[in-house]
Amino acid sequence: MALFRDQSDVSVRPALAGDEEAIARIQLGAWRAGHADVLGADVLDSLDAAAITARWAQAITTPPAAGYRVLVACAGATVVGFAAMRPLPADEQVPLAPPGGELLALEVATGSQRGGHGSRLLTAAVDGLRADGADHLVAWVLDGDAARAQFLRSAGLGPDGTTRELATGSAPERTVSEHRWTAQV
């Protein structure tokens, strides 16, 4: 007697109008779960879910330029993750020569992690950047985000030594550090 395992319907597709609520919910949940120590409760509590949802709606329906993409990972019809990418302008190409692309965001809902959604999203993002002529990828990792660092390292990216400081917008003013990771694609 043959045994068959249930195979879930998993996919990655371009984000569509209407996906923005799921994307914002996943992003806010991921930030609260993974960045509370670095960002602080005051910053996380001040995030405006409606404004974040509106920004994702705009990014999906009217991207700022060619090559900007938002992708979603689905389990059946349910959006369980997302990624956003853009081509890098020439002045942001250092240390690699143009053309390149940047992974702006990649998050998977907490209950759907470790199911391959992140890898599928990253692969689809790289495929899209390659189709636009990019030959390298840049991503930024928030200080202390060991899970993201491990994920990117397993995908072949590595830190290039560049760090940037970002203001959190909280009072009193606080900054966080991000480290740039790169790879040839």
- Per-residue pLDDT tens for 93-151? 566 666 889 999 999 998 888 888 999 999 999 999 999 889 889 999 998 899 999 99
Does residue 135 lie within any of the structural domains?
yes
123 inside domain = yes
pLDDT, tens digit (0-9, with 9 covering 90-100), for 39-84: 777 788 888 999 999 999 999 999 988 889 999 999 999 999 999 9
Buried b (16+ CB within 10 A) or exposed e, 13-39: eebeeebbebbbebbbebbeebbeebb
Let me know if residue 101 belongs to a domain: yes
| Number of structural domains found in the chain | 1
What average pLDDT does this structure show over 33-38? 80
**CATH number, position 139:** 3.40.630.30
Structure confidence at residue 35 (pLDDT): 80
Q: Tell whether 5 is covered by a domain.
A: no
Q: What are the backbone angles phi and psi of residue 19, rounded to the nearest 5°?
A: -80, -15
In a domain, 3, yes or no: no
Residue 144 inside a domain? The answer is yes
Q: Residue 1 falls within a domain, yes or no?
A: no
The answer to pTM > 0.85 is: yes
**Domain of 180, in residue numbers:** 10-184
Would 42 be classed as within a structural domain? Answer: yes
